[in-house]
Amino acid sequence: MAAAAPSTAMTVFLMLSCMAAAAAALNLTTLSFDDGFSHLFGNENLIRSPDGRGARLTLDRSSGSGFISNDLYDHGFFSASIKLPSDYSAGVVVAFYTSNGDVFQKTHDELDFEFLGNIRGKDWRIQTNVYGNGSTSRGREERYFLPFDPTAEAHRYSILWTSDHIIFYIDDTPIREVVRSDAMGGDYPSKPMSIYATIWDGSTWATANGRYKVNYKYAPFVAELSDLVLRGCRVDPIQQVDSARRCAEANEDLLAADFAQMTPLKRAAMRRFRERYMTYSFCYDANRYPVTFPECDIIPSEQSRFFESGETKYPRDRRRARRQSRRP
């Protein structure tokens, strides 16, 4: 007799257990807000936490808000625990990202986590993106459902950026890796970047491609950030030659850290997350990019689950797959 297929609940439990095992090793040192960051915009819509180790970002009719790192970094590991606005938040964009657009306006680099607002009762979507050397016309977006309620409690979102690869983490589980190759050329981010956190009105595009706008009767929209981590080599963007020499040892330490090691267990956790929760990938968007990007590792079994637009064929299955506010 054939064995019975595992239930959906058991499948989710096994996947989360594997993710938890992959996540257990990370050891991070946090810093106070003033030690690492400064106010960027929003006047009184940015409020430091009572313990001085985090901040609240608010969007209302008057303004959004944001903060920026005090320094630029030549590669690094950057992380924050984020609790997203609750209730109806369509059109509200919360972003945690790295960029050097203020310094290199036409050739900037950028690595993004963007939370794309939400309609009550639906699953939250998160987007990651990679830009290098001003390659904004070649966006490398990926979008995912979150397997928990990000408004119930804070979850950690992290970006590792080294000279060899980039890894995006959610709660210590890797969800995306970009491996540098010669074919990428200048599209791989290589110049010093600052770290940002912002909240703002993205009504024109964020939720269902702009179908749902920010409704300010639900304002203020508040995102809480804590457990801030900045690990990397601080640099002067103008004196890059001196910075490269000084940062060589720091970058070696970064590459040796546990969060830079993609073990088989981590890869398995990443694959399971992507199989279950990824809803769009630029690698499978043949309509937008007829020629596949050099860093795309096309997996036929994964490709078969996406339309030529890069959108998943099974969004409802993924919505049903999400579960309680549990860390992967």
Which residues are catalytically annotated? 110, 114
Cα 189 to chain centroid, rounded: 15
User: How crowded is the C-beta side of 82, counted as CA atoms within 13 Å?
Assistant: 27
CB atoms within 10 A of CB 90: 22
Torsion angles phi and psi, residue 112, rounded to 5: -125, 140
